[in-house]
Amino acid sequence: MTERAFKQSKIANELHVVRDGVEALDYLHGPGAGTRERPTPALVLLDLKLPKLDGLEVLRRIRQEERTRLLPVVILTTSTEQRDLAATYANGANSYIRKPVDFAQFIEAVRNLGLYWLVLVEPPPQVK
């Protein structure tokens, strides 16, 4: 659904999709991560409800690594739990967005998210 929303919002940035928390960490921290062939992304959209390793643990590990410590991480989730909201900010999330149920509203949310995080925001310096 997020891939479709990115396409319909005409966000030009490359989108790399992983399917679980282990794959996310391998992409960000595994062999070849942070190289020309697999550069560090400008932004991580992170769901809390991931298989194998949940999004909160992925966030913690992103923040533990020097190279990804400042990487913008936006939580994009269906969770309405206040404990999830508090835990993600306590662990260094830059933003918490609840996925709208309606697809048209979701497209609009993704468009605004892309405009803000990928166009307007001055990103932190990349740590090599």
CATH code that applies to domain 2-117: 3.40.50.2300
Q: Which two tokens stand for residue 19?
A: 């399917």
Domain ranges of the chain: 2-117
What's the predicted TM-score (pTM) here? 0.88
State residue 101's pLDDT score.
80
98 close to 80: Cβ distance less than 8 angstroms:
yes
Q: For 32-69, what is each residue's pLDDT tens digit?
A: 998 888 888 989 999 999 999 999 999 999 999 999 99
**Bridge partner residues of 74 (DSSP):** 45, 95
Ramachandran area for residue 75 (φ above 0: left; ψ -120 to 50: alpha; else beta) = beta
